[in-house]
Amino acid sequence: MITNHRIDLDRLMGRIKALGKIGALDGGGVCRLALSDADKAGRDLVSGWMREAGLDVTVDAIGNVVGVRKGETDGPMVLVGSHIDTVATGGLYDGNLGVLAGLEVIDVLNDLGLTTHHPVGVAFFTNEEGARFAPDMMGSGVHQGSLSLDTCLATAGIDGATVGEELRRIGYAGETPVGSLTPRAYFELHVEQGPVLEEAGIAIGAVTGVQGISWTEYTITGVSNHAGTTPMRLRHDAGYVAAEIAVEARRIAREFGGDQVATCGAIELDPGLVNVIARSARITVDLRNTDDLLLREAEARMAERVGELEKSEGVTIAVRSLARFAPVAFDEAFVSLVAETAQKLGHSAMRMPSGAGHDAQMFAPNCPTAMVFVPSAGGISHNVEEYTAPDEIAAGANVLLQMVLSAAGR
């Protein structure tokens, strides 16, 4: 049943803008790398809002923050969540929208004086982006048991600091045990971060699941030498091998087709001089597919090519897995309910997979899970120009509100 209750868009947009001032960048974006000083300030702000809403707020051992509104029963809660950490060139909406829309749902319940049958919670999870510490979805992964707490606490970031050290430094090394919460249902509202909804003129995406993700780092060691005097046949060029790996990644995506994508997001050469053959190179490869069998085939194809290059070019290649998540399917009943709810509220909707990873994928194996997508202007995300119009935000937040009311019971 669709109620006539709606979110307060001005209140929600006000909070999005207020949080966006913390770590603000020129051009309207934000930089709040996980467990940085800016992340602490953002955590303090959002946790304060949670407490103002009357929520029982806890922090667990990996720094996840969960606020709970009591229901008529003490059983498992309906949980809404996402993240507030960003990449270095982030926008205002990625992750933040899901957390603040969840808080807005709580405020609507408070405004109405409505007690749900089941408790309702809102959460933000540590290091979803993986921009400072690998892997991404770290907090939700530990929370739901797919990642080791001890391993993650010992993980060193791009600046050498470890997760455990930084949690203690910013005051978010909590005492609540991880793995102590399995929700009745988990919902996440998110900007699409791609062009599909906007291109199709659709207001709401009912997300069917999340692509599988495979991140691998290759460190290539060759021989540095003079660029002019060394014959091509005698070179052991780490830079050339890195370039061949990048070409192979694109070739895999093109030949596999379908949902297969491949990205080389980081390439570093040493010594990095115009007239010197590189002695070493580091390159990352990001492979994604909605089909785990095809993703494994892509990984095997890349491994085979890397082995060939090591032999033919006389270099050594060290391989390190940075992250590996299998494709995840969301709860079919809730996926359908997202689409039906959107249509009953007067919004167009379509079923679609997510090309990006989200905290929701960590919950899906353990409880019924669904995501609601709203359009991203120009398909732009992880960019200071990331934008979703207020009316689109309202549409998604109102779908989320109705989903929570349906799952939590009145």
Write the pLDDT tens digit of every residue in 334-379: 999 999 999 999 999 999 999 888 999 999 999 999 999 999 999 9
82 phi and psi angles, rounded to 5 deg: 180, -140
Q: Return the pLDDT at 35.
A: 98
Supply the pTM of this predicted model: 0.88
Mean pLDDT over 374-401 rounds to 98
Asked if the model's pLDDT at residue 181 lies above 90, the reply is no
- Give residue 384's pLDDT: 97
> Under 8 Å CB-to-CB from 70, ≥6 apart: which residues?
56, 115, 119
Q: How far apart are CA 308 and CA 306, in angstroms?
A: 5
User: Residue 325 — pLDDT band, cuts 50, 70, 90?
Assistant: confident
As a whole number, mean pLDDT of residues 169-173 equals: 98
Query: Binning pLDDT at 50, 70 and 90, where does residue 323 land?
Result: confident
HSE-CB for 227 with a 13 A CA cutoff: 11
Strand partners, 188: 371
* The pLDDT of residue 211: 92
Percentage of the chain modeled with pLDDT above 90? 95
Give the chain as a 3 state SS string: CCCCCCCCHHHHHHHHHHHHCCCECCCCCECCCCCCHHHHHHHHHHHHHHHHCCCEEEEECCCCEEEEECCCCCCCCEEEEECCCCCCCECCCCCHHHHHHHHHHHHHHHHHCCCCCCCEEEEECCCCCCCCCCCCCHHHHHHCCCCCHHHHHCCECCCCCEHHHHHHHHCCCCCECCCCCCCCEEEEEEECCCCHHHHHCCCEEEEEEECEEEEEEEEEECCCEECCCCCHHHCCCHHHHHHHHHHHHHHHHHHHCCCCEEECCCEEEECCCCCEECCEEEEEEEEEECCHHHHHHHHHHHHHHHHHHHHHHCCEEEEEEEEEECCEECCHHHHHHHHHHHHHCCCCEEEEEECCCCCHHHHCCCCCEEEEEECCHHHCCCCCCCCCCHHHHHHHHHHHHHHHHHHHCC
Task: pLDDT band for 4, please (50, 70, 90 cuts).
Answer: very high
Do residues 238 and 219 touch, judged by C-beta distance below 8 A?
no
Which of the four pLDDT bands, split at 50, 70 and 90, describes residue 184?
very high
**What pLDDT band is residue 107 in, cutting at 50, 70 and 90?**
very high
pLDDT reading at 261 higher than 80:
yes
pLDDT of 228 higher than 80: yes
Label residue 179 by pLDDT band (50, 70, 90): confident
Handedness of CA 91, 31, 125, 155 (dihedral sign): positive
Distance CA 388, CA 370 (A): 20
Average pLDDT for residues 82-98, to the nearest whole number?
Answer: 98
Rounded to whole angstroms, the Cα distance separating 61 from 71 reads 25
Q: Which two tokens stand for residue 66?
A: 């969960």
Query: Is the confidence at residue 1, as pLDDT, over 80?
Result: no
- Angle between helices 37-52 and 96-112 in degrees, nearest 10: 10
| pLDDT value of residue 51 | 98
Q: Is 78 exposed, middle or buried (0-12, 13-18, 19+ CB in 10 A)?
A: buried
Average pLDDT, the chain: 97
pLDDT of 91 > 90? The answer is yes
pLDDT tens-place string over residues 9-42? 999 999 999 999 999 999 999 999 999 999 999 9
The pLDDT of residue 241: 98
